[in-house]
Structure formats: C-alpha cells, structure tokens
Structure 1
C-alpha cells in the first residue's frame, strides 16, 4: 500500500494541474468574449465619430484647396484666419461644450433621460455668451496677428476675412452642445449622415462660389458659414422632430439653474482641451522664429497635416470612450467602465503602432505628395521619426483625455497639462531648438517629451483610480445638477 501512495498523489496532482489549466483556458475564453463584446460597443460609437470628424475637418481643408487657386494672398489670409482665429475659437468652443460629455453621458447611464435636454440648453447659454465675448478677437484680429509676427498685408487680409467668419463662431456655439447631446445617446450615425451630406454640398458650393463665380474669399466665407449653419439646423431639426427618445421636452427655465457650477465644469473642460489642442499648433509658430525658417516650417506643416488627419481617429476614440465611461459610471457599473478603458487603450495603441510603421516605411515617399521641393522633402524625411513617435503617443493620449472627460476629471487634467506641456515640454523644446541648435528637431523633441510625460501620468492616474468611488460621484453629480427634473422622475 505505501508503494501505491505516490501514484495516487501524482494522479491527484495531475488532476489538479489539468483542472487549473482548464480554468485558465476558460478565463481566457471569457476575456476574449468580453473584449469582443466591448469592442463592438466601442466601434459602434468610434466608427461614425471618426468619419464625422473627418467630414467636418474637410470643410476647411477643401475650401483652402479652392482658395489656393485664387492667389497667394488669399491663401495666406484664409490659412492664417482658419488656423489662428477660427482655430482658437474652435478649441474654446469644443472645450466648453465637452462638459456635456460628462453630464449628459452620466445622466443617460443613470436613466435620467429628460435631464439631457436641460443640460444642452445650459450649454447653449454658456457657449453663446462665450461667443459674444470672443467677437472682439475677430474684430481686432489684424493687430493681434501682427503681434504674433504676421506681416501687415497678411494680417489685414486675414482680419477682413475674420469679420466675414463671425457667423461660424455662433454656429460652433450651437453645434458642439448638440453633438455632445446626441453623442451621449449614441446617436452618432445621425451626426455622420448630416456631416457627410453637408460635405458633398459644401464641395459643390465652394467650387461654384470661389472659382466659377470668382468671389474668392467672400465666396469661401459664404460657403463655410452656410455649411456650418446647415449642420446646426439639420441636427436641431432632428432633435425637435424625434424628441430624441424623450431627451428633448422643449425649452425650460431650468436651463438657467445651477449655471455657476456648470460654468466651472465648462471652463475646466475648455482649459484641458485647449491646452492640448494648441500645443502642437505652437510648434509651427516657434519654428517660424528660426534662422532661415522657410524649409523647416514647410516640413513641419507637412508633418502636422499628416498628424492632423491621424488625430481624427484618436478624436473618434476619445468620443467613444467618453460615452462608454460616462454611461457606465452613470449606471453605477464601475467594472464595465474600467474594462472599457482597457479595451479602448489596447485598440487605439494597436492602431498607433500601425500608423508608426506606416510613417517610417514611407518616409522617403510621402513628403512628395505635399511638395515638389527636394529640400523640404529631405527635411520632412528627417522629421519622420519624430512624427512616428507623435502618432503613437497621440493614439493613447486623447483616449485617456476622453476617460478623464467621461469621469469628470477635467480640472485635474488641466493642471497636468499646464505642467507637462507648458512648464516642461515647451521650454525644453525651445532650449533644444535654439540654445543647443537642433532647430525643428529639437523643438519637436522637447514637446514630445511633454506629451510623453503627460501620457505616463494619465496612465498612472487611470490605473490607481478608485472606480467604485467614481461611480458614486457620478450618481451624486446626477442628483446635484438634475434639479427638479430628477425629483420628478
């Protein structure tokens, strides 16, 4: 009998090992199933959101292409107004409107559907007021542009064009709240259909007004203003007609309640997103201060153009994870919110790796798609390594910002952005570019350091955050800002 004991022990051990292996395999299968299920939810939001971003991004890009065929001064005026004046307004309005991603998403997850319409109206009030405050920037844009280094001729031409573009500013003020309102309910296909239809009409109108009828910049202004206001009108018509499944119950005086708290969250959102939105835009401005800046500025502009298109993918994921996190926290399911963050991080980084490989493998060829100058193409090729790192970092960083918006961490991330971008990254870039003579590569390298540091900090914060407490805070936020609506339901 004693001789049989080891055999029995080995058999038990084999059985236990076999059982453990089966358990591990079952866990792996369940993880894959959960990952696939969450990915489908993610892509249902991210896919249309990415295409919507591309359509709206293309409105200005296509118009710039037509304006470029009119004359050099017209092109310079359009480019400066579109990037400096309208770009500034776009960043502020998008940031202010992003407060709705937190509030509407969490209210939707909590089942407080009627609150979404009230939140949207509060955002209308705040953003329209902000637009009025920003009108002087458009009116006095010539001296502002001269102050940042533009020539008198370009500054005055861009300033005149900026006056014609004031209607676009107020379209932004109405568009972004409606988009966040629809996005929180996962009605992203509506936004895509509207944006795609307007893009087709915009292309035709821009060609007719700018080139066929010879209206130049005035034709560009008419075309862009009309397109943005058509987007606003069509989206609002959809909301009025469908009532958005009960999320819209009409205009109400409750929109004026709790405005101070709403303004604080809107300002935090604006600061957070604007600091990110303007960070790489500053790169080209700083490069313009280099000795003989024409070639490095052209090369950087090509790289930023590619980075801009790539960023549309990241912005789509930003929107998707913001919706997923806010919905799940609002519903009290913190585990689902945490898992959604894991899935979107793996997905976006995988796409970032593909983008990195694509940039590096085509670095000797893609510059010639944008320039016929061998000097500019050579400089762009030199910058390709930095571009590849940037697209990789930008695959994860906007996603983590979307997590922050969905959870309501805007104020915290705003402080992180100030420190990483403007206290560390920007000065480091200036030192490397000018003091150590690395020129454009040095400026960009320093700024990449800021992005990398910010990404690492956000990864740590997201990893150690108490998600159960976040769900409790989301419930409290819904109760606090729901007012009498929450009590009546």
Structure 2
C-alpha cells in the first residue's frame, strides 16, 4: 500500500462524534504505531540484555565491566548519535503529514551524513576506554576489563546510527510491521548465536560480543534491503545529491535533538559512575545496572509510546490539525499512565526473582530487592516522561527540552543523589532516589510546557520549516522541463 493510500485511509475514517468513539479511534491509531515500536525496541534492547546476561554469568568483574561500558560509554555516545537521529523523526513525520513524501528519503540521507560524522568523532572514546575509566576513578580491574569490552562496541555504534534512522523513516510512514519482523528475527538469531558461541564453542566474552555485532548488522542489512528494493516507492526515490544541500539547518536541528536525548541518557550514566565510587564497587555497579536494565526494559514500552506521540503529533501538525494533535496527547498520556501503574506493581513485588536473570550472586540479588520501591517509582515515571518527550520531538521543540533536562537532571537529580548516597549513607538507594527526583520534576516541567504550548504557532512553524527545505520531486522536475521545452 502506498503512502498516499495510507493517508487517504486515515483521513477517511468516520469517527464517532461521542467521546468514547473518539477515544477508540485515536487509540487504534496510537496502538498501530506504538505496538510495533514497543516490540521492536524490546527486541533490540533484548539483544543488549541477552549479551549482558551471558557476560554476567561469567563473573561479577565481567558484569561490572560490561555495565560501565554499556551504561556510561555507550549511553554517552549513543545519546549524541541517537539524539541527532531523532531530527529524522520530526522532519519525516511532518513531511508525511503534509504529503511531501519525496522529501522523506532526502531527510533520511541527510541524517546518515550528520549522524555518521558524529559517531566517527566519538570512536576514540571506545579506544581509550581504560584510560578514561581510570581517570574517572574506577577500580583498575574494572577499568582494564572495560577497555577490552569497549572495542567490541565500535561496530555496534555505527549499526545503531543506520538502524535507528531507518526505523524512524519507516515509522513516519506507518510501515511498522516490517520493523517487528526484522527486530524479532534479529533477537531470535542473537539468542541462538550467543548460546552457540559462548556455551557450545566456549568463546567467552569475545563470543558474546561477536554475536551482538552480527545481530545488529543483520538488522541494518534487512532495513536497507526493504527500503532500497522499492517497498517505499513514494518516500524513497534513490540516492540524491540534494542530501548535501541545506544540510546546515538539519545539523542545527540534529544538534538540539542530540542535546535533548543525550542529557537524558547521560543522567543514568552519571549515577552509575557515582555508584562506582561506593565501598563495594562491583556489587554497587552490578546492582544499579540490573535495576537500570529492569527499568529500561519497561522503558521500551514508554519509548514505543514516544514514537506514537512523535508520529501522531508531527503528522497532525503537518496536516494543520491542532485539535487532533491535542486530543492525541491526552489519550496517549492516559494509556501510558495506566500501563505504568501495572508494571510498577510487578516490580514492587517481584524484583528479587527478576534479578537472578542477570546474576548468580545472592548478594547482588538481595541488593536489587532492597531497591524495589524506588524501582517501582522509576517504572511509573518511565511510562509518562517519554510520551512528553515524544510530543516535543513531534513539534520540533527539542532545544527547549534540552534546557529543561539540564535543570531537572543535573541541577536537581544528581546533587540529591550524591547527597543521599554519600552524606546520608544510603549508597545505591540514595543515588536512585536522586534519579527519581530529577525525572519526576522533568516530567512535571514537560507536562506544564505541553499544556502552555501554542499549537497554532507550532503548525505555522512546521509549515515554514517544510516549505523552506522543500525540493521538487523528480517527476515534478521532469514535467516542468517538458513544459519549458514545449514553450
């Protein structure tokens, strides 16, 4: 089905005039985007989680080393690259809503240029990981082991640049189920590869990391084939030199997007770094990492709704329909909050048995169990905060959210976590409480910002942005040249 047909179907849906009917119709549109996005993100994060589980059963040192690399270095660099990639979500979503389908492929190519360049700048961070961690005060054993593991993440860094941008490109067109098939297949292959290389062939950490790299690049290959082989005929018109034109405004939007996302991801990294200065560093890092992974696993649901919010808001702003955009925000927030309550209850009562998925240590499992209450609050917030960020991405308000993140996370959350962890001697629990305070204030700030936003002005801004960067489609250029020749 073409993009034009998809849009006509959406526009022609006969909505019931009652509130119940409107909620039902909007919920269908939301879940059509969110459900595939949730499954895709769970599968992709599952690749990391499976790798960490295999590494974690090799020993506490290996688990701690993997945790600091994945939670500090990978989050640090991915925060920039994935954040810059989120500009693709804004531009493609608004272009699709406005019917400017041919521009989506050009935006995708521009994002590859910008994000790949950014990723290359950060490669030395992985090469000199041992020295960086020692400089940050991590224990020598953890820093040395982390330096070995970090080199395996360099190919993963580049694969996530391509896979994330292509997923945003496809999601903006509502082509979500192809992402499900590709990511679920990637996860299944990864589990099998990890078992073969780690347990059957006994390759240890290299085996786990090779399996992870193969899995991520298989996903990229599948997405490339789908897009380049003609399954997106309206949005992908082939590689174009136009991708190199008007690239400076894209860089500016990408940087503001990068700052917004990376400040969120770095927040957890700073807290894991603080955990590394505790007396029992290995246990503290392992505990915090496991809790963070449990929360992040549930966060994949929130990120699925982030995608739904971003796509719905950007599509409606592209169409100029502010009422539909505001109604969609209300429905998504209500749905996300309900799901968050359910999962927070699960974490409150079953955090101890869940911990054994990631570790064989009774000490670490008990430490995780002691954090069940703050973990439950984190899970609840993870169901609300991403939706508000998705609204901001859909409206192109990333730069404003970046300032909110600085204030809430780094001027409130980190200081409170440090005080409770070290001064009040609550250790990991204190750090986690600080994280909750930062996220809670950020969510309230974004909620207030969303309520106060002038959506008519956002429609005008979206229209101006799209028209400023609009290029004629190849078939339009051909028709114009034929007319000129005939004259």
Q: Normalising by structure 2, report the TM-score.
A: 0.88
In structure 2, which of residues 210, 214, 233 is the aligned counterpart of residue 226 of structure 1?
A: 214
* Deviation for aligned residue 1:250: 0.7
1:302 corresponding residue in structure 2: 290
Greater Cα radius of gyration, structure 1 or 2: 1
* Deviation for aligned residue 1:81: 3.1
1:55 corresponding residue in structure 2: 43
Distance in 1 between residues matched to 2:153 and 2:365, nearest whole Å: 34
- The reply on whether 1:432 has 2:459 as its aligned counterpart is no
Q: 1:66 to 1:387 in 2, by over 3 A?
A: closer
* Deviation for aligned residue 1:439: 3.0
Q: 1:34 to 1:239 in 2, by over 3 A?
A: same
Equivalent position SS for 1:249: coil
- The reply on whether 1:245 has 2:222 as its aligned counterpart is no
Distance in 1 between residues matched to 2:361 and 2:111, nearest whole Å: 47
Distance in 1 between residues matched to 2:323 and 2:468, nearest whole Å: 24
Q: 1:142 to 1:444 in 2, by over 3 A?
A: same
1:197 corresponding residue in structure 2: 185
Distance in 2 between residues matched to 1:453 and 1:487, nearest whole Å: 50
Distance in 2 between residues matched to 1:76 and 1:386, nearest whole Å: 21
- The reply on whether 1:417 has 2:405 as its aligned counterpart is yes
Q: Map of 1:78-227 to 2, 5 A cutoff? A: 78-227=66-215
Q: Is the 8 A contact 2:72 2:269 kept in 1?
A: no
Equivalent position SS for 2:228: helix
In structure 2, which of residues 16, 20, 24 is the aligned counterpart of residue 32 of structure 1?
A: 20
Equivalent position SS for 1:245: coil
Q: Is the 8 A contact 2:106 2:243 kept in 1?
A: yes
**Between 217-226 and 407-416, the greater mean CA deviation after superposition:** 217-226
1:441 corresponding residue in structure 2: 429
* Deviation for aligned residue 1:428: 2.0
Q: Is the 8 A contact 1:70 1:211 kept in 2?
A: no
* Deviation for aligned residue 1:297: 4.3
Distance in 1 between residues matched to 2:415 and 2:68, nearest whole Å: 25
Q: 1:29 to 1:185 in 2, by over 3 A?
A: closer
Q: Normalising by structure 1, report the TM-score.
A: 0.88
Q: Is the 8 A contact 1:288 1:294 kept in 2?
A: yes
Q: 1:298 to 1:166 in 2, by over 3 A?
A: closer
Q: Is the 8 A contact 2:295 2:379 kept in 1?
A: yes
RMSD: 2.5
Q: Map of 1:248-327 to 2, 5 A cutoff? A: 248-292=236-280, 296-327=284-315
1:14 corresponding residue in structure 2: none
Q: 1:477 to 1:315 in 2, by over 3 A?
A: same
Q: Map of 1:402-413 to 2, 5 A cutoff? A: 402-413=390-401
Q: String of CA shifts for 1:213-247, please: whole Å, max 9, x gaps.
A: 23333323322222111111110110111241310
Q: 1:391 to 1:34 in 2, by over 3 A?
A: same
Distance in 1 between residues matched to 2:141 and 2:46, nearest whole Å: 27
1:452 corresponding residue in structure 2: 440
* Deviation for aligned residue 1:429: 1.9
1:17 corresponding residue in structure 2: none
* Deviation for aligned residue 1:386: 1.4
Q: Is the 8 A contact 1:78 1:217 kept in 2?
A: no
Equivalent position SS for 2:236: coil
Q: 1:367 to 1:171 in 2, by over 3 A?
A: closer
Q: Is the 8 A contact 2:72 2:270 kept in 1?
A: no
Q: Is the 8 A contact 2:63 2:286 kept in 1?
A: no
In structure 1, which of residues 465, 469, 478 is the aligned counterpart of residue 453 of structure 2?
A: 465
Q: Is the 8 A contact 2:413 2:438 kept in 1?
A: yes
* Deviation for aligned residue 1:301: 3.2
* Deviation for aligned residue 1:408: 0.2
Q: Map of 1:61-80 to 2, 5 A cutoff? A: 61-70=49-58, 74-80=62-68
* Deviation for aligned residue 1:358: 2.5
Q: Is the 8 A contact 1:66 1:211 kept in 2?
A: no
Q: Which runs of 5+ in 2 are unaligned?
A: 1-14, 478-487
1:19 corresponding residue in structure 2: none
Q: Which runs of 5+ in 1 are unaligned?
A: 1-26
Q: Is the 8 A contact 2:53 2:359 kept in 1?
A: no
Distance in 1 between residues matched to 2:350 and 2:208, nearest whole Å: 34
* Deviation for aligned residue 1:477: 1.1
In structure 1, which of residues 347, 370, 387 is the aligned counterpart of residue 375 of structure 2?
A: 387
* Deviation for aligned residue 1:360: 2.9
Distance in 1 between residues matched to 2:59 and 2:384, nearest whole Å: 39
**Between 370-379 and 41-50, the greater mean CA deviation after superposition:** 370-379
Q: Is the 8 A contact 1:479 1:486 kept in 2?
A: no
